[in-house]
């Protein structure tokens, strides 16, 4: 059974969590992560919303085999996306963890 005022408390907590999630998503759009390959010959920057923001390719590798350059770009993009995923999970996990604690306090 839910304690008196439990539903109201749960609704307040849900609204608070929603506001925190919106704020975290806005912050993720401004936080930049990086992926690199080939010892920094290819560097890809992405934001926490997994949007590629910048690609830098050292001109020295452009004389190399096209497939190798493509592989380096792919590796750098994948690393940037992995880092963006970890950043997002970290920010959102903290918020979602708070809701779980609230629900257990209400006996749910």
| Chain segment 49-74, per-residue pLDDT in tens | 899 999 999 999 999 899 999 999 99
**35 phi and psi, to 5 degrees?**
-130, 145
Whole-model pTM? 0.71
Q: What is the pLDDT of residue 101?
A: 52
Over the chain, what is the mean pLDDT? Answer: 85
Whether 74 maps to a domain, the answer reads: yes
Number of domains making up the chain: 1
For 60, the domain range is 32-92
Neighbours of 66 (CB within 10 A): 8
Question: Higher confidence at residue 22 or residue 71?
Answer: 71
> Is 73 strand, coil or helix?
helix
CB-based contacts of 72: which residues, under 8 Å, 6+ apart?
37, 38, 41, 42, 61
Which two three-digit tokens encode residue 60?
A: 């020295």
Question: Higher confidence at residue 86 or residue 108?
Answer: 86
Q: Is the pLDDT of residue 102 over 80?
A: no
Whether 58 maps to a domain, the answer reads: yes
Please say whether the beta carbons of 44 and 8 come within 8 A: no
Q: What is the CATH number of the domain that holds 67?
A: 3.30.1310.10
């Amino acid at each position: 059974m839910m304690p008196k005022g439990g539903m109201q408390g749960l609704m307040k907590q849900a609204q608070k969590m929603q506001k925190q999630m919106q704020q975290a998503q806005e912050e993720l759009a401004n936080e930049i992560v990086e992926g690199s390959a080939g010892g920094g010959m290819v560097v890809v920057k992405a934001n926490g919303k997994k949007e590629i923001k910048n690609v830098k390719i050292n001109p020295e590798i452009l004389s190399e085999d096209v497939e190798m350059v493509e592989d380096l770009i792919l590796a750098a993009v994948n690393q940037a996306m992995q880092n963006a995923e970890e950043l997002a999970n970290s920010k959102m996990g903290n918020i979602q963890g708070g809701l779980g604690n609230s629900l257990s306090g209400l006996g749910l």
